[in-house]
């Protein structure tokens, strides 16, 4: 175990094992949840369950061995929702092309891992705007969750309205939402998966959904989605004409993955001081974790899933004393069990899953509490990001309005010292997004 430097990090095999198990229990929900979300693109759910488990095992173990940090990785909540509801269902992009976009964003991430671009991007965008991006995506995720649960429905008069709360499936979703909020508020470990299981039990007992006739089986094949990504269609339209219309989406996936990872790693590392700049290897560990993230995203697209990223649930393992990559390796190996749980995952009713989207949205939306709204440019940018991402069903549109709004207000107030090349470039890219829309 010397490769993990356990003694140097003041930990032990027992401590790391317990931390890995805790992280596993906290994020096991991602396997059925991601499969449910991405299956709405037309991809087979059985293959998605296996693919999600495989990429979680690969990325988490890779990070543990490469970066030696207690950070688990899997298909990112938020970007999988955007992949499905924004890209495939909203923009009518085939899932094969969408996987091509994810792959290119991963390759871009890997290529830029050998430069200082990541640090440049992070330092260029004010921390308040990074928080606004997180809150905006959180709003979008929560909106999708409420919509899928039937709580928010279409209304021709006012666009959206309240659903039929007397419907048994809607009531089941509300119960699931109450449970996940309660478990989270009580700080119960594994709150997400416990709420999914409790809601599913209620559905099975009262006959709202059929109960599973078996609980384990051999893993389903991933052949229907393995290596099915279509990179060519990212650059050529249906008529075979060269087009850069989807290029901004590649950038959005890359930048969002970068910000999501940085935010997550900051939160996880803060408790244990893993990525502290005062530590000799703090920045090195941060960069290696981001490198593992980038490789995992490209690999995930090949397997057939959307962007892979660091999971904030890793913080639960850190709280249990996880300090090294052994925690991640243990967590990743536990996910082997999920490969054989297909019958159970398929029996879980949809409205036991969608409350998780709302809860994740709430957690991301909470970033607004740290934003300085006294700065008018920040207030304008935050408003556009938080409101327009869900209303236009597009992360791209929300970020574009936000960056342009920030730049315009700063110029009008002649606060040029708050601007930098990064912000100007992002605002110009945002403008180009509308030109090619």
Per-residue model confidence as pLDDT tens digits over 119-169: 676 667 787 887 887 788 778 778 878 988 889 888 888 888 888 888 899
Shared-domain flag, residues 84 and 161: yes
Is residue 162 included in any domain, yes or no?
A: yes
229 burial type by CB count under 10 A (0-12 exposed, 13-18 middle, 19+ buried): buried
Evaluated on CA atoms 366, 318, 355, 127, the torsion sign reads: positive
Judgement on whether residues 235 and 326 belong to the same structural domain of the protein? yes
Last residue of a domain, one of 347, 371, 395: 371
Q: What is the pTM of this model?
A: 0.73
Task: State the pLDDT at residue 273.
Answer: 64
47 shares a domain with 37: yes
Residue 1, in any domain of the structure = no
Calculate the alpha carbon distances from 31 to 3, 26, 27, 334, 395 in Å: 29, 12, 8, 13, 24
The C-alpha atoms of residue 102 and residue 118 are separated, in whole angstroms, by 18
User: Taking the C-alpha atoms of 30, 35, 38 and 43 in order, what is their torsion angle to the nearest 10 degrees?
Assistant: 160
8 burial (CB, 10 Å; 0-12 / 13-18 / 19+) is exposed
Residue that terminates a domain, selected from 340, 371, 402: 371
- Roughly how many angstroms between the first and final C-alpha of the chain, as a whole number? 53
The series of mean pLDDT values per 10 residues for the chain, 437 residues long, is 74 84 80 90 92 95 90 85 84 89 87 71 74 80 85 84 88 93 86 85 90 82 91 74 72 72 63 60 76 88 90 73 86 91 83 83 84 93 90 76 91 88 76 62
In a shared domain, residues 378 and 352: no
Query: What's the residue count for the chain?
Result: 437
Residue 155 φ/ψ, nearest 5 degrees: -140, 110
In this prediction, residue 331 carries a pLDDT of 93
pLDDT at 118: 63
CA distance 234 to 317: 39
Number of domains in the chain: 2
Within its chain, how far is the Cα of 331 from the centroid? Answer: 18
pLDDT given at position 137: 75
Same domain, residue pair 417 and 287: no
Q: How far apart are CA 197 and CA 234, in angstroms?
A: 39
189 is in which domain, residue-wise?
6-371
- pLDDT for position 240: 66
CB 39 within 8 A of CB 342: no
State the Cα–Cα distance between residues 423 and 415, nearest whole angstrom: 13
- 356, 371, 386 - which closes a domain: 371
Q: Does residue 25 share a domain with residue 155?
A: yes
Nearest C-alpha neighbor of 342 from the set 195, 221, 228: 221
270 and 417 co-located in one domain:
no
What's residue 262's pLDDT?
Answer: 67
Q: 208 and 133, same structural domain? A: yes
Looking at residue 324, its pLDDT comes to 84
Q: Are residues 404 and 262 in the same domain?
A: no
d(CA 35, CA 290): 25
DSSP β-bridge partners for residue 154: 160
Same domain? 91 vs 196:
yes
Residues 377 and 255 in one domain: no
Q: What does 308-370 look like in DSSP terms, one character per residue?
A: EEE-TTHHHHHHTT--SHHHHHHHHHHGGGGGG-HHHHHHS-HHHHHHHHHHHHHHHHGGGGG
pLDDT at 383: 95
Distance, in Å, from the CA atom of 390 to the CA atom of 355, rounded to the nearest integer, reads 17
357 and 389 assigned to the same domain:
no
Considering only CA atoms, which of 13, 12, 14, 26 is closest in space to residue 268? 26
């Amino acid at each position: 175990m010397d490769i993990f430097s356990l003694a140097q990090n003041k930990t032990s095999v027992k401590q790391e094992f317990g931390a890995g198990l805790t992280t596993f229990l906290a994020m096991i929900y991602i396997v059925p949840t991601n499969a449910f979300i991405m299956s709405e693109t037309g991809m087979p759910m059985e293959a998605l369950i296996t693919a999600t488990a495989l990429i979680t095992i690969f990325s988490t173990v890779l990070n543990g061995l490469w970066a030696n940090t207690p950070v688990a990785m899997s298909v990112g909540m938020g970007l999988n929702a955007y992949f499905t509801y924004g890209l495939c269902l909203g923009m009518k992009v085939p899932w094969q092309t969408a996987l091509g976009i994810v792959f290119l964003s991963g390759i871009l991430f890997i290529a830029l891992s050998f430069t200082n671009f990541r640090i440049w991007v992070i330092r260029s965008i004010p921390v308040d705007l990074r928080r606004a991006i997180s809150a905006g995506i959180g709003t979008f995720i929560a909106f999708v969750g409420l919509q899928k649960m039937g709580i928010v429905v279409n209304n021709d008069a006012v666009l959206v309205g309240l659903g039929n709360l007397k419907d048994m499936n809607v009531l089941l979703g509300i119960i699931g939402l109450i449970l996940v909020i309660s478990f989270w508020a009580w700080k119960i470990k594994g709150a997400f998966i416990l709420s999914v299981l409790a809601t599913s039990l209620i559905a099975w007992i009262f006959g709202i959904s059929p109960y599973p006739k078996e609980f384990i089986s051999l893993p389903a094949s991933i052949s229907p989605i393995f290596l099915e990504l279509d990179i060519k269609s990212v650059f050529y339209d249906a008529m075979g004409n060269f087009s850069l219309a989807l290029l901004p989406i590649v950038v959005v996936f890359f930048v969002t993955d970068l910000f999501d990872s940085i935010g997550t790693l900051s939160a996880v590392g803060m408790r244990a001081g893993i990525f502290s700049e005062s530590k000799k290897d703090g920045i090195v560990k941060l960069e290696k974790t981001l490198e593992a993230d980038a490789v995992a995203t490209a690999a995930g697209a090949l397997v057939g899933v959307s962007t892979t990223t660091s999971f904030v649930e890793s913080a639960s393992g850190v709280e249990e004393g996880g300090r090294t990559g052994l925690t991640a390796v243990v967590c990743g190996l536990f996910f082997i069990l999920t490969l054989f749980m297909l019958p159970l995952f398929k029996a879980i009713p949809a409205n036991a899953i969608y409350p998780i989207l709302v809860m994740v949205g709430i957690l991301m939306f909470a970033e607004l509490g740290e934003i300085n709204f006294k700065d008018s440019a920040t207030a304008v940018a935050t408003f556009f990001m938080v409101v327009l991402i869900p209303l236009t069903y597009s992360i791209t549109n929300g970020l574009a309005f936000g960056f342009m709004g920030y730049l315009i207000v700063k110029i009008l107030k002649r606060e040029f010292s708050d601007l930098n090349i990064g912000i100007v470039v992002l605002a110009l890219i945002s403008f180009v997004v509308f030109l090619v829309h």
